[in-house]
Amino acid sequence: MTHLPFAVDQDYIVAIRRELHQVPELAFDLPRTTAIVKRELDRIGIPYSEAYGKGSVVGTLNESGSGFTIGIRADMDALPVLEANDLPYKSTIEGQMHACGHDAHTAMLLGAAKALVAMKDQLKCRVKFLFQPSEEGRESGALQMVKHGVMDDVDFIIGQHVYSELPTGHVGVCPGMSQAASRTVQIKFSGKAAHAAQPHNGIDALAMAVRTYTSVQLVLTRELNPLEQYLCSFGKLPAGTTQNVIPAQAELLGTVRTYSPEVDGHILRRLEQIARQAAGETGGQAEVTTHLKCLPVYNDQEACNLWRMSAAKLVDPDHIRDVPKQISSVDFSIFLKEKPGVFFRLGIRNEAKNCTAKPHNSTFMIDEDALGLGSSIFVQFVVDHMHGIQMAAHDALRIWSV
C-alpha cells in the first residue's frame, strides 16, 4: 500500500461551506451553487463537465489516465425551510435553507479535490468528483446523472452524510442495509361539490381521503410482519376551497419507505385497493400515482472494511462506530446499484456549540470543526485504494428497478 502524506485545508472548506450556506437553492435549479463549484474547480485546476444533466457538475482528476477510477459524490441542493439561526452567514434566500448539510458535503468534496490535485502526479488512478443536484427534490439527481452515463467509467464510489447523532471527531458506517427505499405517493379523489347544508347532493372527496388515511394505517399493521421495517406516512391533505362547500376534490400526499421490493409492492397494491374502495363507497373516484425515488442504501461488508482501514489512519479506533440503519433515504443508492461503493456518516454534534438539531430543522447547525475529517477520509481512501478494488455491485440492489 502506498503512503502519500497530504493535508486538507480546513479554513478553505469552512469558507466555501459558509458561502454556499448563504445561497441555498432547490432541486435542479442551482445556478449560484454550481457557479461556486465551477469557479473553485477552475482555481484548483480540475477540468469539469456539465454533460450529466441539469444542475450537475463532474470534475475529473487525471482525466487522460486509464485504469481504476474512484468516484466521490456530494449532493448540493437545499430545502424549502425558513432558517431560524442567527448567523453572519445565514441564508439570504427567503424560505430556503441548507438544513441537511449539503453545503458541507459540497465544500468537503472541493476540499478533497484541492488536496488530491497537490499529489496528482503520484496518484495511480483517476478520480471523478460528482457534484449532484436534487437529492431532496421529487426527481432524483443521481438517477439523472446515471442515465447520462456518469458511472460508465467509475469502478468504485464513496459518499458521506453529516450525522447529528455522532459527536465531532467520530465517524460511522452501517454494514448491510443502511437506509430505506423511498417512494412518493399521491392519491387524487374526485367527487361532487355541494352546499355544506345539503351534503346529500354532493359526493364528499374529503371523506374519501380521511377514510383512506385511517384505513391504511390499520390495514398495514395487520397484514405485514411486525418484524418488517416500513413506513407509510401522509403529510399533506389539500381539499376544498371554503368552509361551507362539500369538496369535489381532495388529495393525500405521502411517502412509503421499505427495505424490500416485496413489502413495497404489497403496500402499493393495498393503497390502490383501499383508496378505490373508499371512493367507490360514495360514488367517487380515486387515482393513485407513485414514484420510486430512492433504492435502499446497501453497504457491502467488504467495502465497509476497506473504508474502516482508511478511517483508522485518521481517527482513534474507538471513534469509528457501527451506526444503526435508518428508515430515512438517500439517492446515493442509485449509484450503488451501478457500481460497488460505501456510504458513511460524519459526526457533527457539539453540545457546547448548540450543534444538536437534526436535519430538516430550521435550527440545524453543523460543527464546522468536523469538516476537515470528512474531506480527509475521501483523500485517504483514494490514496489507499488507487491501485484497484476487486468488487462488484451487490445483488441486494439489482432486484430493484427505478
pLDDT digits (tens, 9 = 90+) for 355-376: 999 999 999 999 999 999 999 9
What average pLDDT does the segment 136-156 reach? 97
Q: Tell me the C-alpha distance between 112 and 93, whole Å.
A: 28
What average pLDDT does the segment 241-253 reach? 97
pLDDT for the residue 401: 80
Cell of 75: 449532493
- 5 or 234, greater pLDDT: 234
- CA separation (Å) from 315 to 110, 159, 160, 377? 21, 18, 16, 10
pLDDT for the residue 111: 99
- Per the CB < 8 A criterion, the answer to whether 34 and 55 are in contact is yes
Q: What is the 3-state secondary structure (H, E, C) of 46-63?
A: CCEECCCCCCCEEEEECC
- Per the CB < 8 A criterion, the answer to whether 129 and 61 are in contact is yes
Domain range summary for the chain, segments of one domain joined by +: 10-179+296-398, 181-293
Q: For residue 399, what pLDDT band results from cuts at 50, 70 and 90?
A: confident
- Whether the domain at 10-179+296-398 and the domain at 181-293 fall into the same CATH topology: no
Report whether CATH 3.30.420.130 matches the domain 181-293: no
Identity of the amino acid at 169: G
Q: Tell me the C-alpha distance between 244 and 202, whole Å.
A: 12
Q: Is 234 helix (H, G, I), strand (E, B) or coil?
A: strand
Give tens-digit pLDDT for 26-80: 999 999 999 999 999 999 999 999 999 999 999 999 877 778 999 999 999 999 9
* Spatial CA neighbour of 292 closest among 244, 333, 242, 321: 333
C-beta neighbour count of 387 within 10 angstroms: 11
Give tens-digit pLDDT for 283-334: 999 999 999 999 999 999 999 999 999 999 999 999 999 999 999 999 999 9
Q: For residue 396, what pLDDT band results from cuts at 50, 70 and 90?
A: confident
pLDDT for the residue 63: 79
C-beta neighbour count of 227 within 10 angstroms: 5
Would you say residue 17 has pLDDT above 60? yes
Q: Is 258 helix (H, G, I), strand (E, B) or coil?
A: strand
Helix axes 261-280, 205-223, angle to 10 degrees: 140
The percent of residues in the chain predicted with pLDDT above 70, rounded, is 99
Fold of 10-179+296-398: Aminopeptidase (3.40.630)
Q: How high does pLDDT run on average in the chain?
A: 96
Cell of 71: 468516484
Give tens-digit pLDDT for 206-221: 999 999 999 998 999 9
> Reading across the β-sheet that carries 181-190, which strands appear in turn?
231-236, 249-258, 181-190, 285-294
Q: For residue 3, what pLDDT band results from cuts at 50, 70 and 90?
A: low
Contacts of 52 (CB under 8 A, 6+ apart): 58, 144, 145, 148, 149, 150
Q: Tell me the C-alpha distance between 97 and 77, whole Å.
A: 9
The percent of residues in the chain predicted with pLDDT above 90, rounded, is 92
Q: What is the 3-state secondary structure (H, E, C) of 181-208?
A: EEEEEEEEEECECEECCCHHHCECHHHH
Angle at 214 between CA 218 and CA 328, to 5 degrees: 75
Q: Tell me the C-alpha distance between 10 and 340, whole Å.
A: 29
pLDDT for the residue 5: 72
Q: Tell me the C-alpha distance between 381 and 303, whole Å.
A: 11
Q: For residue 159, what pLDDT band results from cuts at 50, 70 and 90?
A: very high
pLDDT for the residue 1: 44
* Spatial CA neighbour of 162 closest among 75, 38, 85: 75
DSSP conformational letter for 370: G
Cell of 27: 432541486
